[in-house]
Amino acid sequence: MTDNAGFAVGGWRNRVVEIPARDAGKPTVLEFRGGWFTSQYRLEVLETVQGQEAVGPCLATAMGLGPERFVLPVGCDRVRVRRFTTSGNSIAHGPWHLRDVPIEELTQLSEDVVKGKHSSLLCHVGPKANLRFEWESGEGGALFFRSFTDKEERPLTRHRALRGIAAVPSEGLLRIQGYGRWRLHLIPDGS
């Protein structure tokens, strides 16, 4: 199914999803939601290497009903949605939904405090800035940044960082990876 906002698709079982071509000047942001019956999925890039289909990197492991947002790698046009089960989870299928997200729909970083939990994807529109971050629960996490023109993201913090200040180099996307509640905000000049 497709709506005015762009690409959207859903299903109940494992499936390969063709991702429509997007504006080459901006990254493609996708959002995945698992279903009620089973909530564990892996989203993997499918690549063609020497004429053979190969599984590329895992983009996201979605565990839970909340949305999982991620950036599609440049040149990727197919994603495999694969359900997996763990001990004690015997449900064999469940509904899921995948859609593209306009960058304007992402929460923007500002001097106001932005709160969230677990993994997330935020947007920074503005010049270079300093970002104060703090994990309020859990074991901390990591921040990664990708400018709108970069093909790769780069780490802004160490793994399991609990609090600190990170330099956001330009406009782009901030990926938060971790479990637990976090809060962050841009620091005004002179602070």
What are the strands, taking DSSP E only, across the chain? 2-3, 6-11, 15-18, 28-33, 40-49, 52-63, 68-72, 78-83, 96-101, 114-117, 120-124, 129-135, 141-147, 154-155, 163-168, 172-178, 181-187
The pLDDT, as a whole number, for residue 133 is 97
Look at 56 and 110; give whichever has higher pLDDT: 110
pLDDT tens for residues 60-81?
A: 888 766 788 999 887 788 999 9
pLDDT tens digits along 9-25: 998 888 999 988 776 66
Residue 190 confidence (pLDDT) above 60: no
Query: What is the distance, to the nearest Å, from the Cα of residue 150 to the centroid of all Cα atoms in its chain?
Result: 16
What pLDDT does 1 receive? 37
What DSSP designation does 126 have? S
Neighbours of 151 (CB within 10 A): 10
Confidence of residue 49 (pLDDT cuts 50, 70, 90): confident
pLDDT of amino acid 100: 92
Average pLDDT over residues 52-59: 83
For the chain, the distance separating the N- and C-terminal CA atoms, rounded to the nearest angstrom, is 48
